[in-house]
Structure 1
Amino acid sequence: MDIKEDHIINIHQFLPHRTPMLMADYILELTKEKVVTSFEILKDNIFVHQNEFVEAGLIENLAQTCSSILGQSFFENPEADTKVIGFITNIKKIEIFALPKVGNKIISKASLISQYENICHIFCETFNQDELLIRAEINLFIQEIKQ
């Protein structure tokens, strides 16, 4: 995938996660039904073991990528101090094919299958260049935290 620098969105605008639990760097494409993110795996990442990004890290990366589809409605006003919390409510199907290494930049793609209010069912995949790393169908729930 060609990354167009002028279209990159900082994912902090759409997720409540912060270091060390932020597992996506940038949103490369975002619509109401689809999102594409990038993430560079650094050696000090909490999900790196023996120079590989482990399965739990891949799943968290997918969940954060997917939540951008649903989370964007909570962050329409960039000035607002919105706080949200999200949960994986179900992993319907998951296949892990390979683990990326430190220094790899992975690309995750997610497509909305269905949505009912703040619950959505999403198909997602993560790639290291052309190599498919993980494929899954997950359900997410996101809600705003009242302050």
Structure 2
Amino acid sequence: MRKELIERTTVLELIPQRAPLVMVDALYSFNETEIEAGLSVSSNNIGVVNNYMHESGIIEHMAQTVALHTGYDYFLKKLTPPTGYIGAIKKIDIYRLPKVGEELITHGRIIQEFLGVTLIELTTFCNGEKIAAGEMKTVIAKTDESQ
């Protein structure tokens, strides 16, 4: 079993999503440019139909992995984690759908980050098998304080 950096309940404090939209529940590794996050696929997850998580659920898990990277970075700096959005999906290939009971592990590597826009390469594994890969841009929402 993988060792988590933080408790699963703390993950919820680092992302803006709330149930039933939470699609990350573990943080396994983190540095300035990389993250490894997980999700135990359950029948309660958005995007699960007939015991399989569909493409939209995998993509949301990937996006929330990016949100967790940002949230944990802000947490370490003792700042409030911001809200962000998917700005663009460059390309995502999905090779198979995970079943309820399986765990997703997504590795993200930041390619570029500038003015709240992050371009990140993401690869998702299930039982050691690569099931999805691609790139997306995420954008941190402007707040009254950041404008």
TM-score normalised to the size of structure 2? Answer: 0.87
Tell me the distance in 2 between the aligned counterparts of 1:60 and 1:48.
12
CA contact (8 A) 2:119 2:136 kept: yes
Tell me the distance in 1 between the aligned counterparts of 2:72 and 2:126.
25
Structure with the largest fraction of strand: 1
- The answer as to 2:113 corresponding to 1:105 is no
Q: Deviations over 1:95-144 (max 9, x none)?
A: 01000000111111100001102111000011101111110100001136
Q: Deviations over 1:40-84 (max 9, x none)?
A: 01112221101100100000000000222333343332xx6x363
| SS of equivalent to 2:69 | helix
CA contact (8 A) 2:14 2:81 kept: no
Q: Give the partner amino acid of 1:3.
A: R
CA contact (8 A) 2:117 2:138 kept: yes
Tell me the distance in 1 between the aligned counterparts of 2:48 and 2:56.
10
Residue ranges of structure 2 left out of the alignment (5+ in a row): none
Tell me the distance in 1 between the aligned counterparts of 2:18 and 2:25.
11
Q: In the TM superposition, what are the counterparts of 1:13-28 in structure 2 within 5 Å?
A: 13-28=13-28
| SS of equivalent to 1:8 | coil
- From 131, 134, 137, the counterpart of 2:135: 137
2:34 maps to which residue? 34
CA contact (8 A) 2:71 2:81 kept: no
CA contact (8 A) 1:71 1:142 kept: no
1:118 maps to which residue? 116
Determine what percentage of the aligned residue pairs are the same residue. 30
1:12 maps to which residue? 12
2:65 maps to which residue? 65
Q: Give the partner amino acid of 2:58.
A: L
Residue ranges of structure 1 left out of the alignment (5+ in a row): none
